[in-house]
Chain A
Amino acid sequence: MAVIKTEHLTYIYGAGTPYEKRALDDINLSIEAGEFVGVIGHTGSGKSTLIQHFNALLKPTSGKVYIDGVDVWAAGKAALQGFRFDVGLVFQYPEHQLFEETVYKDIAFGPRNMGLSEREIDERVREAAHYVGLTEAMLDHSPFEISGGQKRRAAIAGVLSMRPKVLILDEPTAGLDPRGRDQILRLIADYHRTTGSTVLIVSHSMEDVARYASRILIMNNAKVHAYLPVREAFSDPEVLMNMGLSVPPITRVFHRLSQKGLYSGPEVLTLEEGKAALKAMLGGAKDA
């Protein structure tokens, strides 16, 4: 079943002002429960605006959003809070999410709103902090006096602590060091696998979405350009480049090799696939 569905979703910022901006234009989407979706699209294409509709932070200018089959804006005020617990959203700028005196209190904020007991809150905070690689000592710090990457971990922990059914992360690895990036992506993949939840990651890293996502949602100028399996999404670098996007470096390498007539297999998306492909090419050359 579709866990998120939109019908003719349109969103206009500053309607009626001279700076009116149609950020989403007639979006019709259906995302099945359990998918791991990579959301890509040029700067300003509408990614952040779109996902804020998925946990009822933004209200469509027109059109509908359904979560688990329920029309979000017809369900009544009381239901809105529930959608925000079910669909956890990590913002693009962690600063927009951190406001408490300590990192601990920030991570505890969601579970507390959910009405959990102090004991359970404490358990979830420590678990989430550990999960994202924040030390116990870091929990007592002010979220404003830690480094950029540490802020991002804290923001992610704050959403994981609610154990959402749908986890949406807006550029979760921006600003993380390579080890942190791998750690966070692995833990998201782990969360996806062990909980069977649906995950959406907005990312400008083609390497990361190629590696982790099963489907790709491509946004372009306020519209959905395509929603398709990852391999198909990266099969035509030209098309992506024309939209300000790209393919992973390793994909580009094999693409060039095939343009030179040296490679003729399927699209290479990861290092492991590249290794297998190159071994096959060399093996083939030797036999010939």
Chain B
Amino acid sequence: MDNIIQTEGLSFRYEGSDTLALNNITLSIERGSFVAVLGHNGSGKSTLAKHFNAILTPTEGSCHIDGIDTREQDRLYDIRRRVGMVFQNPDNQIVATLVEEDVAFGLENLGVEPQEIRRRVDQALEVVGMEAFKLHAPHQLSGGQKQRVAIAGVLAMRTECIVFDEPTAMLDPRGRAEVMEAMKHLNRNHGVTVVLITHFMDEAAQCDRVVVMDSGSVVLDDSPERVFTQIGALRSLGLDVPQVTEFADLMRRSGINLPEGILTEEACVAEIEKLLTARQ
């Protein structure tokens, strides 16, 4: 199999900490796939993500990006050219005094031609709907606007894999839907591998694969259909299921036979329609 990311027995301990933030993780991310990572607060999602572009390196075990060991310091550039990352808090990502400089920052570091930078920056800002803010100062933006700029910065890099760490946490419903669409588009039409860390179950339900973490370990790794039928297990991990899935479960428990595996509103409406027709 062709894996862009491959970890083997990866464990990680933050300096001065007496517990492992990641405990023996063996995980591969196939090139071109769209993978959600779920897990309770503090379960290690961001720590794992930071291994994917060598911000952190394993305390034990290994992490390879396209075959490159992340511990090879002199290959850092090659790693970051392959895997881009949208950080959890956009404030940590914003470095420049103008929005357009901020989006260009990563490209300049990659040594891209100025004209090409110009083109890519404009395009990325357009994708996130922030072209009108090009000449604004990033710290003067609203929470959701900052998040969009941070996303543009990574889109502009055109890496073949992007790790999004809770990219929609501060967005309004339309913004969330748009970012989800943008990620799907990158994945389907440009073959970009997408790793999406999220606390929104309905977003995870739209991915190809769902990896669930608990206290530094991977505890579930399967298709959304299979993961989200394990409602009890997810709850005990501090997680949840999409609202319509929960609704179907609630109805089943009160004797109304909505099937398992309803993950979308469309499916929910269709199944209710079937029930109604059957009763008539």
Contact = CB atoms under 8 A, between A and B. Distances in A.
Interface of A: 13-14, 19, 21, 41-44, 48, 92-93, 95, 145-150, 171, 174-181, 204, 206-207, 241, 244-246, 248-250, 252-253, 256-257, 260, 262, 271, 274-275, 278-279, 281-282, 285-286, 288
B1 interface: no
Contact of B275 (A175, A271, A282): A282
Interface stretch (B34-42, B58-66, B110-118, B119-127): B34-42
B243 A250 contact: yes
Nearest to B253: A275
Contact of A43 (B136, B169, B172): B172
Interface residues of B, number: 54
Count chain B CB atoms within 10 A of each CB in A180, A248, A274 and give the residue with the most: A274
A269 B254 CA distance: 19
B171 interface: yes
A278 B248 CA distance: 11
Count chain A CB atoms within 10 A of each CB in B136, B144, B148, B280 and give the residue with the most: B144
B268 A253 contact: yes
A145 B202 contact: no
Contact of A249 (B145, B199, B242): B242
Contacts of B256: 278-279, 282
Contact of A176 (B41, B174, B269): B41
Contact of B247 (A175, A204, A256, A274): A274
Contacts of B176: 204
A32 B268 CA distance: 39
A175 B199 contact: yes
B280 A245 contact: no
14 contacts: A41-B172, A43-B172, A92-B143, A93-B91, A148-B89, A148-B166, A175-B169, A206-B173, A207-B243, A241-B173, A244-B173, A245-B174, A253-B247, A285-B279
B140 interface: yes
Contacts of B173: 204, 206, 241, 244-246
